[in-house]
Chain A
Amino acid sequence: MTEKLVIIGNGMAPGRMLEHLFEQAPGRFAVTIFNAEPRVNYDRIMLSPVLSGEKTYEDIIIHGDAWYETHGVTLHRGDRIVSIDRTNRSVTSQNGVTAAYDRLVIATGSNPFIIPVPGKDLPGVVAYRDLDDVGAMLAAAEMGGDAIVIGGGLLGLEAAAGLKARGMNVTVLHVMPSLMERQLDPAAGYLLQKALEDRGIKVICKANTRAILGDGKVEAVELDDGRRLPASIVVMAVGIRPNVQLAREAGLAVNRGIVVDDGMLTSDGHIMALGECAEVGGQVYGLVAPLYEMARIAASHLSGDKTPAFVHADTPTKLKVTGIDLYSLGDFSEGPDREEIVLRDASAGIYKRLVLKDNHIIGTVLYGETSDGAWFNDLKKKQVDISGMRDTLIFGQAYQGGAPLDPMAAVAALPDDAEICGCNGVCKGKITSTITGKGLTSLDEVRAHTKASASCGSCTGLVEQLMALTLGDKYNPAAVTPMCTCTDLGHDDVRRLIKAKGLKSIPAVMQELEWKTSCGCAKCRPALNYYLVCDWPDEYADDYQSRFINERVHANIQKDGTYSVVPRMWGGVTNAKELRAIADVVDKFQIPMVKVTGGQRIDLLGVEKEDLPAVWADLGQAGFISGQAYAKGLRTVKTCVGSDWCRFGTQDSTGLGIRIEKFMWGSWTPAKLKLAVSGCPRNCAEATCKDIGVVCVESGFEIHFAGAAGLDIKGTDVLGLVKTEDEALEVIVGLTQMYREQARYLERIYKWAKRIGHDEIRRQVLQDTERRKAYYDRFVFSQKFAQVDPWSERVSGKDKHEFKPMASVGYGEAAE
């Protein structure tokens, strides 16, 4: 008979327990979960990357809907349990659902601690615990302004870094004299503070908050010394308290947490507890490694094997802030019976400290260079007597026994039982044997099968080295596709970091983001050049040597090394004077081919490079500017004849197309950008397969986007209907700017939109009018610098060298 297992709370601990349980005792329990949060089980640890923009919520889901279905689990989302009836063995929820249990598991996690100061309940004061908190912070970040984070521990600093990455002015208030004092000694705390300050995050230590001020919402924070700091959001991250209220009311033994034995059983034989709410051996825990151990033990006891018992182990702490490496483990307080070994390298920003007792490591603090963490942890766990290697110990494993090892060899030298993934307690042997045994080739597979690197991710580097070691050339580390071989970072990371770190030149990007080549390659340089042009339109000096030849000489190179010249023909409309000028140019320069393009204009093909400036000069005389047929930028705006002539036309589609083209020409975009405006749904301008299209209707303008008709064919989606031409222009420009700021280089609108979601785009540029206006204004600002006709610039002498040979030699002799 299946037993009824009810779980209160759907966090990381019970999620892991169920995985073990379904493996060990499939079908034994009918499982019902109540979760106060209205969602499935997700990786709470990874909220910081979601906050900073490095990940999305979808990326951090541990069990999707399908998982619950497969395992027949009933999940009540957004329904909190309000009472436990131990006599009748049932629980009752806020929504009035009662569920009977044979076995009950309490996994209610923790509550964030809120310091009891006046103003703590004002809107705009948030904790940092779940996805809703992240949502509140992101909403605040969108408005910009000042953020105050109270608490300089792990959570507070991750929140601060995330808010900074989102563009806020961030100040951290910490009551102690140095940051993360529970994990770091003052020296490392100081280095950390400096690193944060270098990123523009203000840190005030010994800061006692007296009150939070504001009228109807947060406006400032007042300190004990009277200082007032402006704030549009206050994040309280000062600690957590096990969430024990329900258990206490049910009369279970409760101390700091719900008291359980080493088999996770509470004082009631039918009820277990695990996770942050449980207290075992007098300790409560706030990192997942011990919670996962609890999960393993609970699952085992539930499935009938009562032998495993929980044993305390220290868990290393790592800070998940990109670019800051920090590792701390065990006990590092000073004492008469302790000795220490310290290594400082100020210029490299490295600090390492080992705390020893009776020739054994009992504590480790590593800052700036943490790759030996696993090794020190191993020595500590195994209680290795280090007297023999005392002199070189601090330099790490690489220096033991002769020549220094490269990082790969150091990993190779780790013993099989060395712990690689702290969160999940996975050792090296388990990873390598699973890779070979199951024929795994990708990081995701290794995560799925071993759980290594599946939680906080800070051991990912080590796991990848192990994969490389085990698989050799077969391993292709494609977790995030790097921009190119010059870096491990993907496009999104690079874009984010350019903004977050205020990087304003290609050398600055390469220096700060640790490019592996001296000056990049033909893949990354054009991308970086675009990102910088887009992000700093007024400050960045375009690097022409980082542009593809077409954009450098403002014409399209042909297979024979000649060029084609496509002048702008606004909206596809021309006249006799323009056509005559084109005809004259064709005659004068003996241009071999004249062709009408698919973009409603005229292409002059086969022009010699040296003739380009002269051809442009003549075209310029007739009023032509470059059609940018070569640009990752605005190409054409195709139009149909519209209401001026066509019997079906509903609006002046030609006029609107010309207006849009005149407004947007010259702008650089991630990939080429093509628009069209049709005067009625017959759609003669083919607006419904363009990057952005407009279909005019009686009631206004239907804006379309994300179409394709090149390598892929895809009809557009409707963004929305607007009433006036002005609105149409604002929406189109807003959408373009959003795309400019977010897409990856060479990513057309339809691909970008698919990646981030059509609804999200609608929300940002259609519904949120304020945000649309902000996008619009930024586009207009950047156009001030972009709308310079490149042809006339070159006719007046710019980049002369491009069009002339440096020298001609040998003609004298040859003429003999």
Chain B
Amino acid sequence: MEAFTTHTGRAVPLRRSNVDTDQIIPAHWLKKVTRDGFEDGLFEAWRKDPGFVLNQPRHAGGTVLVAGPDFGTGSSREHAVWALQNYGFKAVISPRFADIFRGNSLKNGLLTVVLPQETVEQLWNLAEGDPQAPVTVDLEQRKVLADGIDVDFDLDENARWRLLNGLDDISLTLKNETAIADYEARRPSFTPRTQAA
């Protein structure tokens, strides 16, 4: 996984709540068997509208997506995270994320930042007024900084540590081989098996 320490870029204001994963990447894109090439599928239906924020030249090249509450609801498709990353986003800010989406993001090094609705509105106004305004998402200090904005955000220490160091969860878990094998040895005999081991 790519490490995330701090990132400065321009914000893209997505004034919508309940942005579900079917909107982020529609189902027909999920037939791909790779992790890349999803950028054209990102918000595919909404991008048909020339007025959609991603189609506005003034917001081109933005890397911090700022959305309303309940971003990433719906399906578990990690393709939603890949699509945002393939398109160039490094961080997403929202007052509330769906659990699975948030977990998927953190595993891929896409930082999800929970900020209060007021700050989200401030960021929307800032980016709409001046699309070039820089926004910094600093994971080391756990802060979002922009013109007139200096707010702290929460992220649990363990997730932060893994992100800062770009650590691969599987390697970390495999260090606990003994604990896993011990657990396996104590499982009751009535637990189901799909086939002989």
Q: Is the pairing of A and B real?
A: no
